[in-house]
Amino acid sequence: MLNELDALANINLKTREVNAVPTSLKLIRIGTSGSLQDELKVNDILISSYGLGLDSLMQFYEYEENDEISNMLNTIDEQLELLFVNPYLFKAPGDLFSKFGKYFNSGITATCCGFYAPQGRMLRAEAKYEDLIKRLSNIEVNGLRVTNFEMETAAIYGLATLLGHQAVSVNAILANRINHTFSHDPDLVIENTIKKVLEII
């Protein structure tokens, strides 16, 4: 979807030519998430300072990591030890994060490529990494922890960075995977999150 939004803003759809002066969009993702830290409670709201991609999306795009990101990823790789995953990491691009940061807690958000085994869940198919939740929750880099996970943030931050847009991810915490607690009224939590975001903007 992000590529499509960028095309609407920056490509002449009749001539298929890229506009000479690009437009930078302000993108706010409001979504649900699971907590990976005991102190991040159910029904809390958290914004993502970084998106840690455990999917392969950004491996298909050309970009360069700066030294800070490369060093952070090396530390994360050493702690995470997922043999077949090449994680990527993007900081929230632009000024939106600072605008929301005064109202909410923040942390590194892990983006997984699926809802079940990639998030440490098993139904009938066995998960390769049964201790994935523990591995993610124990990661610490530059004084930051992996606080939560979901399925979009890292991709949004990555593509927004490449395309010159601002972005922030706002997470309604509906479950705490460490202490096994769950929201009893998720619809209300989501509604309140949306209202708070609208008040800020």
Q: What is the pLDDT of residue 117?
A: 83
Q: What is the pLDDT of residue 84?
A: 78
Is pLDDT of 144 > 90? Answer: yes
Report residue 120's pLDDT band, with 50, 70 and 90 as the boundaries. Answer: confident
Range 4-18 average pLDDT: 95
Is pLDDT of 85 > 90? Answer: no
- Please identify which residue in the block is written with the tokens 């975001």: 197
Q: Which residues contact 126 (CB under 8 A, 6 or more apart)?
A: none
Per residue in 15-32, pLDDT tens? 999 999 999 999 999 999
Predicted TM-score of the model (pTM): 0.94
CATH label, 26-200, candidates 3.40.50.1580, 3.20.20.80, 3.30.2080.10, 3.40.190.10: 3.40.50.1580
Q: What is the pLDDT of residue 178?
A: 95
Q: Which helix (H) or strand (E) holds 29?
A: strand 26-35
Is pLDDT of 67 > 90? Answer: yes
Q: What is the pLDDT of residue 116?
A: 82
Is pLDDT of 128 > 90? Answer: no
Please tell me the least confidently modeled range out of 78-82, 91-95, 142-146, 183-187.
Answer: 78-82
Report the b/e string of 39-59 with b at 16+ CB within 10 A.
ebebbbbbbbbbbbbbbeebe
- Of the candidates 170, 143, 167, which has an alpha carbon nearest to the alpha carbon of residue 68? 143
CA distance 30 to 138: 26
Is pLDDT of 123 > 90? Answer: no
Per residue in 110-119, pLDDT tens? 999 888 887 8
185 CB-side CA count, 13 A: 5
Please tell me the least confidently modeled range out of 2-16, 56-70, 73-87.
Answer: 73-87
**Domain extents for the chain?**
26-200
